[in-house]
Amino acid sequence: MKQGQAQVIRLEEYQVPFYLAESLSLNIDLADDSTVVTSTAKYTRHPKQPTATTLALHGELQELLSVKLDGKLLSEGEYTVDDEFLSLSNLPESFKLEVSSRIYPEKNTSLEGLYQSGGKYCTQCEAEGFRKITYFLDRPDVMTIFTTRITADKASYPVLLSNGNCVEKGDLENGRHFAVWHDPFIKPAYLFALVAGNLEHVSDEFTTMSGRKVALEIYTEAHNIPFCGYAMESLIRAMKWDEERFGLEYDLDIYMIVAVDDFNMGAMENKGLNVFNSKLVFASPETATDIDYINIEAVIGHEYFHNWTGNRVTCRDWFQLSLKEGLTVFRDQEFTADLHSRPVKRIEDVRMLRTHQFAEDASPMAHPIRPSSFIEINNFYTVTVYEKGAEVVRLYNSLLGQDGFRKGMDLYFERHDGQAVTTEDFLAAMSDANGADLSQMEMWYNQAGTPEVAVTMDYDAANKTCTLNFAQSCPDTPESNDKAPFLIPFKLALINLAGEEIALQIEGETADQADGHDTERVINITDATQSVTFVNVAEKPLPSLLRDFSAPVKYSYDYSTEDYIFLMQHDSDDFNRWEASQRLAQQLILQMLDERECGVAIGVSPEVVDAYQQVLDNADLDPALRAEALSLPGESDIAGLVAKADPEAIHEVRKFFMTTLANGMRLSLDAQYDALNTNEDYTVDAASIGRRSLKNTCLAYLSLIDDEMIHQQCLAQFENANNMTDRLAALSALADTDCPEREQALKAFEVQFNDNPLVMDKWFAIQAASTLPGTLEQVKALQTHPAYDANNPNKIRSLIGRFAMANLVNFHAADGSGYEFLTDFVIDLDTRNPQVASRMIRPLIKWRQIETQRSALMKACLERVHKTDGISNDVFEIVDKGLAG
Ligand code: B3K
Ligand code: ZN
């Protein structure tokens, strides 16, 4: 775009539309070099806009062919059309409008609107892609009944799908055919979908709790049909879970999923016709890892759950995105937790939030879960809106309990089914259903930044009281330098010297009142500073704080190394035992970074090695949790904790720490590895996933030891694995080791999986993440590999994204070569796919957090992008924010 043209959209400027659409009938005539779309809508003036007589329909990248108002063809002077709108004036209270235009899906590389992927047509309309298909009110508060007629060549596109139920189909002249789909539920345009192609499908059936039968179909090309079984099972589990946990039943007679290879994100919840990135559908033990299996189930669940939280009740405007996304992520997190291991799921979600969302909150892109302005809404499908949004929904669940939360959900649907609403409506339903004053929850919606809670403890031995003092604050973020206190439910326990939890009685409470609260309590922090005093505390305890990560905040407490070691062994809360292992590593790595900078020799004490070894050897602890405890904070997590981070120093120190642990724990690592390396049959259940996870964590540690025997051990696992999880874990260990086995394994993998694009994504990703020198050259070379595709988002994310986002040491090469490479890449990609380009540029906006020399090089790259002619709104917004302030 030309600079200065980007238009800022603001929440405070929201206005109800002038007209509403009662129905929309689409006629989409697909042809390889010109697709013609005719849409006929009945518009009626919005009751809140009684004087309106004008209508501006959204529309982009279309060749307008004709406009008919109540059957009369309009001449060019009777409407205006520009790059964004078709505008009409002097309109009556209600009228019928027929608009016809031509579009070119085969040339659409943005993967938004109607486009082709692998020879089939598909759509992506959220957030504002429908306007690339036809002229309409492309905004979520305009909900209507869609009827869609698709016409196409029958031999090339035998399957024609859209939302709702197929009500008619038949053959036409010239080898063409048609299908008509009718969706009986009103929906906004962003939930529209169309798919046409030569597809096969797997089918199943689900009987809902009220006894209705629903046909389930997953579509893909014939050769991928054998990989769809797990996705189908996942869908059935999701449908059942939503009935049991939330009383929510599916509403149409058919639910379809289509897998496509070229997709900008994970999946899309179009009504009755989900479109999925094929990586979140296809699975077999030989081609998918445990993480893939868990993700497939979670995303199938997520899109299914949107049918109520998103589709039946949708967003009034795009500022409300977290209303559907935060809530639906919370629902999918609970789905996974109920089906697998709850503590493991919680740990993984928190890890992800801290690594990515806390980093976003500390960057120039920091925004509240309900942003107040944007240039390009696609830029706000973020970890903040999604994952922090889910944490905020989880707060209601903690404050009101699971039953209270359910009452709130029931009221939300009772009030708002079929409506487009706001986060305030959600808050009101939660509070009204429970008679609770939740007004302070509002701060979570309109303030960005990660709140920080400083905790101190005063123990009074004479009076046997223990007081915890909390002081909350929140760093400045672009939207505000003056934050009001948040409502922070802070779950805690006190642990005595014997490692037991102490009964918690708050001063002033009777023993009876305290009884019900047992040894773990939630203190609702509402003020900037606040204290709570517990009585009858016989000895000075050690606090176990923010259990289960009860709020999305950071906290500080003056724990010593010994305290952490004690908590690693004695905290009865699975989550906080893991937390102690992470905080200990973090504290020691930060200390060593300081020591290194002062030229002091660094080292790790035997007590620390022993603490991790005890976790490793603890047979009473779930192997999955042992693996989590041994998976230490990553380099970018550490970088987020220091001012002016030096990526090279962080890489060295963290590696030193882990290598010291590996050498110190070697006997146990070997013993655990051997005990777990049984080549058991592959199954996807929490217990076997946990065993593989611990085994592969052991292998990852062992591979840090420079020993030819271990290279051979990795190669043996690589060659003998009966599943992708083990094979990839071995390959990943080798990819970071300079040894002949590395090349041997990479080559063998390439030969074996060359014809499987999803597996080749893993091969690209592993090489892009290698911390060995020369990785940038390798990434450049891989861009010419026959399996690489410069237009496929999965390939881009695997190769370029992984290099820029998960390879701190190589991306941040001191000469700036990583930055220059990414900059060139993004400028080029932006001409074809702005949405993905604007994701790829984000590592550079963290320039202020990096040491001075590199920081200047990063900033110069951002300036180069900023100056580039014709850069998209998407990239412009990120770069502009990245440079501002
Ligand atoms: N709602 C979609 C995301 C759409 C992204 C548009 N840029 C998938 C999901 O969250 O379920
Ligand atoms: Zn979603």
d(CA 96, CA 19): 12
Nearest CA to ligand 1 atom 10: 325
**Res. 268: pLDDT tops 70:** yes
**Res. 1: pLDDT tops 60:** no
Whole-number Å distance, alpha carbon 310 to ligand 1 midpoint, is 10
Are 44 and 182 contained in the same domain?
yes
What is the per-residue pLDDT across 317-370, written as a single tens digit (0 to 9) for each? 999 999 999 999 999 999 999 999 999 999 999 999 999 999 999 999 999 999
- Over range 503-529, report the average pLDDT: 86
Pick the catalytic residue from 112, 303, 741, 877. 303
Query: Which residue, among 805, 792, 812, has the nearest Cα to 856 in the 3D structure?
Result: 812
With cut-offs at 50, 70 and 90, classify the pLDDT of residue 84: very high
d(CA 819, CA 825): 10
Neighbours of 789 (CB within 10 A): 16
With cut-offs at 50, 70 and 90, classify the pLDDT of residue 515: low
- CA 754 to chain CA centroid, nearest Å: 28
Whole-number Å distance, alpha carbon 259 to ligand 2 midpoint, is 17
CATH number, domain containing residue 385: 1.10.390.10
d(CA 364, CA 253): 46
State residue 172's pLDDT score. 98
Q: What residues pair up with 55 in beta bridges, in sequence order?
A: 88
User: Which atom of ligand 1 is the closest one to the Cα of 329?
Assistant: 10
User: Which atom of ligand 1 is the closest one to the Cα of 386?
Assistant: 10
* Residue 448 identity: A
State residue 47's pLDDT score. 98
State residue 516's pLDDT score. 61
Structural domain includes residue 284? no
d(CA 810, CA 651): 10
Structural domain includes residue 744? no
State residue 511's pLDDT score. 67
What is the per-residue pLDDT across 364-411, written as a single tens digit (0 to 9) for each? 999 999 999 999 999 999 999 999 999 999 999 999 999 999 999 999
Name the residue range of residue 396's domain.
318-446
What is the per-residue pLDDT across 569-583, written as a single tens digit (0 to 9) for each? 999 999 999 999 999
Ligand 1 in reach of 377 Cβ (< 6 A): no
State residue 264's pLDDT score. 98
Burial of 525 (0-12, 13-18, 19+ CB in 10 A): buried
DSSP 8-state code for residue 215 = E
709 phi and psi angles, rounded to 5 deg: -60, -35
Q: Which of 84-93, 422-431, 503-512, 582-591 has the lowest mean pLDDT?
A: 503-512
Boundary-marking domain end, from 398, 413, 446? 446
With cut-offs at 50, 70 and 90, classify the pLDDT of residue 517: low
State residue 569's pLDDT score. 96
**Contacting residues for 752 by C-beta, under 8 A, at least 6 apart:** none
Ligand 1 in reach of 522 Cβ (< 6 A): no
Query: Which residue, among 351, 282, 424, 230, has the nearest Cα to 628 in the 3D structure?
Result: 351
What is the per-residue pLDDT across 141-174, written as a single tens digit (0 to 9) for each? 999 999 999 999 999 999 999 999 999 999 999 9
Ligand 1 in reach of 501 Cβ (< 6 A): no
Neighbours of 13 (CB within 10 A): 9
State residue 679's pLDDT score. 83
Nearest CA to ligand 1 atom 2: 268
With cut-offs at 50, 70 and 90, classify the pLDDT of residue 2: very low
Boundary-marking domain end, from 166, 198, 230? 198
| Percent of the chain residues past pLDDT 70, beyond the cut | 99
Q: Sign of the CA dihedral 724, 730, 736, 738? A: negative
Whole-number Å distance, alpha carbon 319 to ligand 2 midpoint, is 14
Structural domain includes residue 398? yes
Are 54 and 186 contained in the same domain?
yes
For ligand 1, mutation pick of 265, 304, 315, 378 (most atoms within 8 Å of CB): 265
Structural domain includes residue 825? no
Whole-number Å distance, alpha carbon 674 to ligand 1 midpoint, is 43
Whole-number Å distance, alpha carbon 313 to ligand 2 midpoint, is 13
Active site annotation includes 325: no
What is the per-residue pLDDT across 473-501, written as a single tens digit (0 to 9) for each? 999 999 899 999 999 999 999 999 999 99
Whole-number Å distance, alpha carbon 267 to ligand 1 midpoint, is 7
Residue-by-residue DSSP string for 534-579? EE---S--EEE-SGGG-SS-EEE----HHHHHHHHHH-S-HHHHHH
For ligand 1, mutation pick of 332, 381, 874 (most atoms within 8 Å of CB): 381
**Res. 604: pLDDT tops 70:** yes
Structural domain includes residue 470? no
Count of domains for the chain = 2
Strands 554-556 and 452-460: parallel
User: Which atom of ligand 1 is the closest one to the Cα of 303?
Assistant: 11
For ligand 1, mutation pick of 122, 257, 268 (most atoms within 8 Å of CB): 268
Annotate 431-459 with b (16+ C-beta within 10 A) or e (fewer).
Answer: bebbeeebeebbbbbbbbbbbebebebee
Task: Please give the torsion angle defined by the CA atoms of residues 53, 58, 62 and 63, in that order, rounded to the nearest 10 degrees.
Answer: 10
User: Which atom of ligand 1 is the closest one to the Cα of 835?
Assistant: 7
What is the per-residue pLDDT across 826-853, written as a single tens digit (0 to 9) for each? 999 999 999 999 999 999 999 999 999 9
Structural domain includes residue 818? no
Query: Which residue, among 151, 40, 34, has the nearest Cα to 103 in the 3D structure?
Result: 34
CATH number, domain containing residue 97: 2.60.40.1730
With cut-offs at 50, 70 and 90, classify the pLDDT of residue 518: confident
Q: What is the mean pLDDT of the chain?
A: 97
With cut-offs at 50, 70 and 90, classify the pLDDT of residue 3: very low
What is the per-residue pLDDT across 537-552, written as a single tens digit (0 to 9) for each? 999 999 999 999 999 9
Ligand 1 in reach of 280 Cβ (< 6 A): no
Structural domain includes residue 704? no
Are 178 and 324 contained in the same domain?
no
Structural domain includes residue 575? no
| 237 to 213, 232, 487: CA distances (angstroms) | 15, 9, 35
Are 38 and 170 contained in the same domain?
yes
State residue 547's pLDDT score. 98
Are 58 and 191 contained in the same domain?
yes
| Percent of the chain residues past pLDDT 90, beyond the cut | 97
d(CA 412, CA 434): 12
Boundary-marking domain end, from 181, 198, 215? 198
Are 33 and 167 contained in the same domain?
yes
